[in-house]
Amino acid sequence: MKALDTSVLVRYYTMDEPRQAKIAARIIAGEAELFIPRTVLIELYFVLKYAKKYRFDPARIGEVLRHLIDLPNVTVENYDMVTTALASQQLGLEFPGALHVAASVRCDEFLTFDDRRLARRAQRAGIRPRVMVPVA
């Protein structure tokens, strides 16, 4: 089994570097088993969303991630956690935050100072664990 880095996936989904995109497509189509760490999924999200070159919207990134994890030769680290995060993304959460919360499922609360938007959206959606912004 071979693991893929974010750069291979970016080339595959953006086709921005034709030579590398062709190699990435050959790898993804030709390898019997590929592994994607969840950290690569987070990085892929940030690259596709925030790199000036791409600026994919969250819905399109969700389509990319769902396509990737559904490929028959791809194994994703913590598949159930990733699918939970993708479902949360459809409720308005950003995928990385949703994945952090999904990874904390055995906890009562997920505390953040930086992501009030995550806390509001998670609360409205009833996502567990409860996302909270600590107060003094």
Q: Which domains does the chain have, with CATH numbers?
A: 1-77 (3.40.50.1010), 79-136 (no CATH)
For 67-92, letters b (16+ CB in 10 Å) and e give ebbeeeebebeeeebbbbbbebbeee
The Cα-based distances of 112 to 42, 43, 78, 134 in angstroms read 18, 20, 23, 7
26 CB burial (10 A radius; 0-12, 13-18, 19+): exposed
Average pLDDT over residues 19-45: 97
pLDDT band at 125 (very low <50, low <70, confident <90, very high): confident
pLDDT band at 127 (very low <50, low <70, confident <90, very high): confident
